[in-house]
Amino acid sequence: MCGIMGYVGHRNVVSMLVDGLRRLEYRGYDSAGIAYFEEGEIEVKRSVGKLSSLEEILPPLPPDSPSGIGHTRWATHGKPSEENAHPHRSGSLVLVHNGIIENYISLKKGLLEEGHEFVSDTDTEVVVHLIDSIYQRGGSLETAVKNALVQMHGSYAICVLSEKDPERMIAVRSGCPLVIGLGKDECFVASDIPAFLSHTREVVYLEDGEIALLSAKGLEVLDFKGARLSKESQKISWNPVMAEKGGYRHFLQKEIHEQPRAIVDTIRGRVAQEEGEVILGAAEINEAVVKRCKRVVLVGCGTSWHAALVGKFLLEEIAGLPVEVDIASEFRYRDPHLSSEDLVIGISQSGETADTLAAIREAKSKNTPTLSICNVVGSSISRETDTVFYTHAGPEISVASTKAFTTQLTALTLLAIHLGRRRAVLSKEKAQEMIHHLILLPKQIEEILRHEARIEDIAKRYFRYRDFLYLARGLLYPVALEGALKLKEISYIHAEGYPAGEMKHGPIALIDENMPVVILATKDKVYGKVISNVMEVKARGGMIISFAEEGDTDLASISDEIFFIPKVSPSLSPILMTIPLQMLAYHISVTRGTDVDQPRNLAKSVTVE
Ligand code: M6R
């Protein structure tokens, strides 16, 4: 985790760093720090807590500095403290790091023997001392960095600055994201694009094993052996306003409201309604892979895993393929049986989740074709899979995933229709009908969003309860999991999602007059059984908050609260049902006064195991 940022150029370095780090805080926010030049010497400022604490100790009139680096931390080695905050220093060098250096203990031992002194518990401090130890023996900083890299094991993105060369900085990527922004007479480096999006859209993605030399004159990229590489820059389409709050109180609320637009962008250019076809374009799967495919394996973490659970229903029913779903962090450890007749699909908003990336690598090591469903263009997962289906949800800043989830579900629906047609198991008429419903979806979401006040009202009545149970069946069961995850991660209320039929096998013991039970139900083949579950909860004094299709008077008559979603085809009900659950979690959290966009202990991209 952690966000790193570097700037070299003509603008005020301190404000550029602070501004960039603010947009990277979603990656970690237990401490922050920056390094810049003041009268030829490097000044380091660090502080525990969020960026606002750091800002309090920064000079009111920042000096002119040719370059600088910054960091916002999510602790791995060493508790959040000023000593453990980055940048770390050794001799004339300062360094920021994202990732983990696995052999830092043995490296530290050698450096201690050489006489180096350490002030933090971090693996990062070892890296700056290692580079410095080599640098002090003579030669260029770039050679010192290169020679240090061969001794380091683990995953990292680092950025180094030397007091001896203030107009240049060096950044390295090996396993953690790093992207370069190119401006006029200036260069940026950051863990993610929003850090510099308001200044440039011209980007170069660093690959693993690449070293970037940045100066106001431009960028040079080398491989770890020092050979010069030629890299193409790309113009990204995100605009800075997309990464701002746009008048909403929180990024989370903004991102919930962006879902109609985000889904339009996921569908855009991918459907031919009259022909009943889904065109994947750049995400097209090789013909031989489709022909050979006997099974799909979906992997992801957190919310993306919930999307995978819905994806199983969609792909099995629409594309007629057997599907397995794995939590990415478990996948490689059970030595999964994989072959070239499988297709492994990694689902990830960030495209940087270490476990999902490792699952993809596991599949590739067994010659299994891979595809990713990903939001962040150019991310590691998108580059390592054979094919990538971008969701185009735009930057998701709030730590809790919202639009990423519903666009993943949209992508999975499109993929299922596409595969169903290519495998000749889905008729043209059925595909036309499904596409028609997909196209209506954004308007239906807008309709739900118009009733936010009703959700706020429910939130105000239930925000004091300590436990919530979310029950649903079939395709809506993963949505119950997702609703519960949203509530627990942003409001810190304990919440569980359960398949409604499982309630009587244990969770029913929890039900009493202090347990709100959220019910998700549409009028499908198990509707009657869900009604029975509701009666069982009521008989034990539990409160019922139902989310149902409009016109469902039966459920309304036995619920304490009811919120209606528009009528929708069954395969799309997970998308619509998710929206009010996101709003419920949001308003409960706002009422409880928690930090909605940056909940405690979490980070947006989990780039460590
Ligand atoms: O970027 P990814 O989709 O791979 O992230 C996976 C999870 O870390 C993520 O969904 C996490 O569970 C969110 N906090 C959920 O809101």
* CA–CA separation, 386 and 342 (whole Å): 13
Opening angle at CA 22, ends 19 and 26, nearest 5: 155
Query: Which pTM value belongs to this model?
Result: 0.79
Residue 173, token pair as written in the block: 């990527």
Contact by Cβ (8 Å): 381, 354: no
Residue 325 — very low, low, confident or very high, per pLDDT cuts 50/70/90? Answer: very high
State the distance between the two ends of the chain, measured CA to CA, in whole angstroms. Answer: 10
Mean pLDDT of 14-43: 92
Most confident among 21-25, 67-71, 171-175, 598-602 (mean pLDDT): 67-71
For the stretch 199-227, pLDDT in tens is 999 999 999 999 999 999 999 999 999 99
Segment 462-470 shows an average pLDDT of: 96
Does residue 79 carry a catalytic annotation? no
189 band by pLDDT with thresholds 50, 70 and 90: very high
CA angle, 232 then 233 then 238, to 5°:
145
> Whose C-alpha lies nearest to ligand 1, atom 11?
302
The sign of the CA dihedral 281, 286, 287, 289 is: negative
Cα–Cα distance, 591 to 236 (Å, whole number): 37
Q: Which of 2, 159, 176, 374 is catalytic?
A: 2
Which CATH superfamily, name and number, covers 452-592? Glucose-6-phosphate isomerase like protein; domain 1 (3.40.50.10490)
Residue of 259, 221, 105 lying closest to 580 (CA atoms): 259
Judge whether 2 counts as a catalytic residue: yes
Residue 504 clears pLDDT 90, i.e. is over it: no
How many CB atoms sit inside 10 A of residue 601's CB? 9
Instruction: Assess contact for 188 and 236: CB atoms under 8 A.
Output: no
DSSP output for 361-386: HHHHHTT--EEEEESSTT-HHHHHSS
d(CA 507, CA 270): 43
pLDDT, one tens digit per residue, over 72-114 is: 997 777 888 999 999 999 999 999 999 888 899 999 999 999 9
C-alpha atoms less than 13 angstroms from C-alpha of 451 in its C-beta half-sphere = 18
Residues 6+ apart with CB under 8 A from 74: 1, 2, 27, 28, 29, 30, 603
Max Cα distance, the chain (Å)? 80
By three-state DSSP, how is residue 363 classified?
Answer: helix
Structural tokens at position 176: 């953690």
User: Long-range contacts: 429-434, Cβ < 8 Å, 24+?
Assistant: 429/276, 430/276, 431/276, 431/277, 431/278, 432/273, 432/274, 432/276, 433/569, 434/318, 434/569, 434/571
Cα–Cα distances (Å) from 337 to 179, 343, 344, 363, in that order, read: 35, 12, 12, 9
Chosen CATH of 3-243 out of 3.40.50.2000, 3.60.20.10, 3.30.70.260, 3.40.50.300: 3.60.20.10
Amino acid at 65: S
Please state the atom number of ligand 1 nearest to the C-alpha of residue 605.
Answer: 1
Give the span between the Cα atoms of 500 and 408, in whole angstroms.
Answer: 24
DSSP conformation letters of 6-32: EEEESS-HHHHHHHHHHHHGGG--SEE
Q: Helix H segments across 492-526?
A: none
Measured in Å, residue 397 CA sits from the centre of ligand 1 at: 12
Cβ of 571 closer than 6 Å to ligand 1, yes or no, is no
Residue 444: is its pLDDT beyond 80? yes
- Domain segments of the chain as ranges: 3-243, 251-449, 452-592
pLDDT tops 90 at residue 275? yes
**364 falls in which pLDDT band (50, 70, 90)?**
very high
| Residues with Cβ within 8 Å of residue 237, at least 6 apart in sequence | 201
553: its two tokens: 């008077």
Q: Could you tell which of 191, 301, 482, 602 is best to mutate to test the pocket of ligand 1, judged by most ligand atoms within 8 Å of the CB?
A: 301
Give the type of residue at 236: I
Q: At what angle do helices 124-135 and 104-114 cross, to 10 degrees?
A: 40
DSSP label of 218: E
Distance CA 580, CA 483 (A): 9
Q: 242 or 553: whose pLDDT is higher?
A: 553
Assigned token pair, 217: 């004159």
With CA atoms as reference, report the closest residue to 518 among 541, 539, 542, 494: 542
Of the two residues 295 and 333, the one the predictor is more confident about is 295
Which residues in 419-501 belong to E strands, given as ranges?
467-472, 494-499
User: Which residue, 529, 572, 527, is CA-closest to 548?
Assistant: 527
Q: Is 350 in the pocket of ligand 1 (CB under 6 A)?
A: yes
CA of 35 relative to ligand 1 center, distance in Å: 31
In the reported structure, the alpha carbon of residue 392 is separated from the centroid of ligand 1 by a whole-number distance in angstroms of 16
Q: What is the DSSP string of 463-483?
A: TT-SEEEEEE-GGGHHHHHHH
**pLDDT tens digits, 367-399:** 999 999 999 877 889 989 999 999 988 888 899
pLDDT tens for residues 155-168?
A: 899 999 999 999 99
Q: What percent of the chain has pLDDT over 70?
A: 99
Strands 295-300 and 342-348: parallel
Which residues fall within 8 angstroms of residue 488, CB to CB, at 6 or more apart? 494, 495
Backbone phi and psi for residue 127, each to the nearest 5 degrees, phi listed first: -65, -45
Q: Is residue 1 very low, low, confident or very high in pLDDT (cuts 50, 70, 90)?
A: low
368 within 8 A of 568, measured Cβ to Cβ? no
Q: Tell me, yes or no, if the two domains 3-243 and 452-592 fold the same way.
A: no
Q: Is the pLDDT of residue 238 over 80?
A: no
Would you place residue 243 in the very low, low, confident or very high pLDDT band (cuts 50, 70, 90)? low
Q: Which of 469, 448, 452, 444 is nearest to 534 (CA)?
A: 469
At 259 the pLDDT is 97
Q: Tens of pLDDT along 245-262?
A: 777 889 999 999 999 999
Q: Among 45, 50, 486, 604, which one carries the catalytic annotation?
A: 604
Nearest-CA residue for ligand 1 atom 8 is: 302
* DSSP state at residue 175: B
User: Residue 332: which pLDDT band, with cuts at 50, 70 and 90?
Assistant: confident
* Minimum CA distance residue for ligand 1 atom 14: 400
Residue from 606, 607, 608, 609 to probe ligand 1 pocket by mutation (most atoms less than 8 Å from CB): 606
Helix (H, G, I), strand (E, B) or coil at 576: helix
**For residue 345, how far is its CA from the centre of ligand 1 (angstroms)?**
16
Structure tokens at 355: 């476990």
Between CA 158 and CA 99 the distance in angstroms is: 9
Which DSSP category does 119 fall into?
-
Query: What ligand 1 atom has the least distance to the C-alpha of 381?
Result: 4
What is the whole-number distance in angstroms between the Cα of residue 304 and the centre of ligand 1?
6
Q: Residue 269 and residue 439: Cα distance in Å, rounded?
A: 12
CATH number 3.40.50.10490 is the correct assignment for the domain at 251-449: yes
Angle between helix axes 428-449 and 403-422 (nearest 10 degrees) is: 170
Mutate to test the pocket of ligand 1, among 305, 329, 349, 479 (most ligand atoms within 8 A of CB): 349
* Confidence (pLDDT) at 269: 87
